[in-house]
Amino acid sequence: MKKIGYIILLVVLLSGCKNPLKNKREEYCEAMKEFALAEIKKGNIEPAIKGKYLYSETEKYFIWKKYGVNIIYPIDLHEFYQIELDSCYNSIMLEHTKNKEGIIRDLDTLTTRKNHNSKYEYPKSKYLREYHDGKFYVGLDDNNRDFAPKRIDTSYYEKLEKFQAKFNPKLTDTIKCEFWYEIDTLGNISNIEIYHHSTPTIDSAVVDFYSSFIYTPANDGIKKLEYRSNNFIYFLGTME
């Protein structure tokens, strides 16, 4: 009897411990949902969605242009925390994502077509991916240096640091601006399209800053290619 009494007491104590943990989890989940709603209010709908196949930047761009949704592939990168993969955060993103079934169908169709209709033979096809509007993406790899565009201005990072410093003292939180950009066959940047908004002022400033640089164009070893990729700029903030 004494042993049963101890067991009952232990169960009661453990049950009492669960409530604070549950409350903490609920508080945390509500905070994540608030973060998600704040991003959605900026125009950033970014759900983690997985189709049948691995998709690349070419599919992401197509989905963003068609649905206005920046899809996050749900792979957990252990090097750093990704708020986009948090279940509470993502649940709100999914609630605000229309046509989820259509997005997945498009992803699967596009990736199947991409894998079978590349105009380049291996190994070149490993690096050169064609978007669905005729522009190209060059995959990241040490062996693609001759195909990828190259920024001519070697002082880019010094200029970037000065650019960020204009805004950091005015910010209390870290924010990011992510965007698609194109480089034409003359090496000029054009058509910068922001898919993760920061603030209207910073978004506009990022477009002006990033479009001021010149590149050597992308190529396939014979001819120059119209190129599309994406980049981001973080603003860390310094105000307490």
| 57 in Cβ contact with 140 (< 8 Å) | no
Structure tokens at 86: 């948090």
* pLDDT tens digits, 29-49: 999 999 999 999 999 999 999
- Segment 24-30 shows an average pLDDT of 89
Confidence of residue 239 (pLDDT cuts 50, 70, 90): low
Confidence of residue 80 (pLDDT cuts 50, 70, 90): low
Please give the CATH number for the structural domain made up of 143-240: 3.30.2420
Beta strand ranges found along the chain (DSSP E): 128-130, 136-138, 150-151, 175-183, 189-196, 215-216, 218-219, 224-225, 227-235
What are the residue ranges of CATH 3.30.2420 in the chain? 143-240
- Segment 137-156 shows an average pLDDT of 87
Q: Please tell me the distance from the alpha carbon of residue 11 to that of residue 15, in angstroms, as a whole number.
A: 6
Distance linking the first and last C-alpha atoms of the chain: 59
Closest by CA position to 103, among listed 45, 151, 172, 160: 45
Q: Is the pLDDT of residue 153 over 50?
A: yes
Q: Please tell me the distance from the alpha carbon of residue 34 to that of residue 92, in angstroms, as a whole number.
A: 9
Beta strand ranges found along 78-217 (DSSP E): 128-130, 136-138, 150-151, 175-183, 189-196, 215-216
Letter for the amino acid at 84?
A: E
In the chain, the percentage of residues whose pLDDT exceeds 90 is: 62
pLDDT at 78: 61
* pLDDT tens digits, 43-67: 999 999 987 888 889 999 999 999 9
pTM recorded for the entire structure? 0.84
Confidence of residue 98 (pLDDT cuts 50, 70, 90): very high
DSSP 22-38: HHHHHHHHHHHHHHHHH
Q: Please tell me the distance from the alpha carbon of residue 146 to that of residue 130, in angstroms, as a whole number.
A: 17
| 219 in Cβ contact with 225 (< 8 Å) | yes
* pLDDT tens digits, 175-202: 999 999 999 999 999 999 999 999 999 9
